[in-house]
């Protein structure tokens, strides 16, 4: 009887572990200049819930810009966004304790830190000749045509599928850059979640609307997680970090 009871317990645990994530309603917080949209959504799995906060946009209307935030000239994300004419932004790439960037950082065509080879730094967000893309680090080609670039990782979603082997042991707040279509992009911040869970959540159909996420790259997270969306100088979405970060990734309307 004890063995039979143990089998029942294991069966229930297995069923809970394999239960699908269920998305709650998509809450539109408001429209931003450049036709960007701020939104939130909560997904659940049993007694687990993860809150996602995001800003979505189309690249014909907006573009990513990397904003440096060196220790000797540190400023808040709100101040950096205002100076750049940006409507939203998040924390960017990794950095050392002395605030030295980790991995490739290019801002406004200027290389602020060089490319690095490391398992963690598996992907690069680039703006090349005006076109935005996520590329595998080993396939990145340095060129004067690259106006913006940020190296980070791990890669979470590729070709619409979860990357295998994502870490399932540590829960933390996360920041993500993702593409739902060639011209549709988003910045995301989440409540504490493991990387493996995050990969599953990001592949839910229509997570931020009609289109599914095709590519997603993890940025620096944990205490660095930070997301702000501004409309007429007032925050529609404001997720503060627990400390300073070395650079920001901003969404800036294109000038036509």
The tens digit of pLDDT for each residue in 199-220 reads: 999 999 999 888 899 999 999 9
User: Considering the domain boundaries, does residue 7 fall inside one?
Assistant: no
Residue 68 domain-assigned (yes or no): yes
In a domain, 136, yes or no: yes
pLDDT of residue 8: 37
The structural domain count of the chain equals: 1
> Is the confidence at residue 180, as pLDDT, over 60?
yes
Residue 4 lies in a domain: no
Asked if residue 204 belongs to a domain, the reply is yes
Within-domain flag for 5: no
Q: Give the pLDDT confidence of 161-174 residue by residue, as tens digits.
A: 999 999 999 999 99
- The percent of residues in the chain predicted with pLDDT above 90, rounded, is 88
**11 φ/ψ angles, rounded to the nearest 5 degrees:** -65, -45
**The whole model's pTM is what?**
0.91
Q: Which tens digit of pLDDT belongs to each residue from 67-105?
A: 999 999 999 999 999 999 999 999 999 999 999 999 999
Instruction: Judge whether 9 lies within some domain.
Output: no
Determine, yes or no, domain membership for 11: no
Q: Which domain holds residue 61?
A: 20-253
């Amino acid at each position: 009887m004890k063995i039979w009871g143990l089998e029942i317990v294991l069966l229930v645990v297995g069923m809970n572990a394999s239960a699908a994530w269920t998305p709650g309603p998509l809450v539109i917080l408001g429209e931003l200049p450049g036709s960007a949209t701020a939104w939130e959504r909560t997904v659940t799995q049993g007694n687990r819930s993860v809150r996602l906060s995001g800003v979505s946009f189309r690249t014909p209307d907006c573009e990513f810009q990397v904003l440096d935030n060196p220790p000797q000239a540190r400023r808040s994300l709100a101040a950096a966004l205002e100076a750049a004419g940006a409507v939203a932004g998040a924390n960017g790439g990794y950095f050392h304790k002395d605030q030295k960037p980790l991995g490739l950082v290019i801002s406004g065509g200027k290389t602020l830190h060089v490319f690095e080879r490391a398992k963690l730094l598996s992907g690069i967000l680039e703006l090349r000749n005006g076109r935005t893309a996520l590329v595998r680090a080993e396939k990145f080609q340095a060129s004067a045509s690259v106006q913006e670039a940020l190296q980070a990782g791990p890669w979470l979603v590729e070709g619409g599928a979860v990357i295998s082997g994502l870490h399932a042991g540590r829960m933390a707040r996360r920041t993500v850059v993702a593409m739902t279509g060639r011209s549709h992009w988003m910045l995301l911040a989440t409540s504490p979640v493991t990387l493996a869970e995050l990969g599953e959540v990001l592949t839910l159909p229509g997570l931020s609307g009609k289109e599914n996420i095709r590519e997603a790259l993890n940025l620096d997270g944990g205490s660095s997680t930070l997301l702000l969306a501004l409309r007429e100088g007032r925050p529609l979405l404001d997720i503060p970090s627990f400390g300073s970060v070395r650079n920001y990734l901003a969404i800036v309307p294109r000038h036509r």
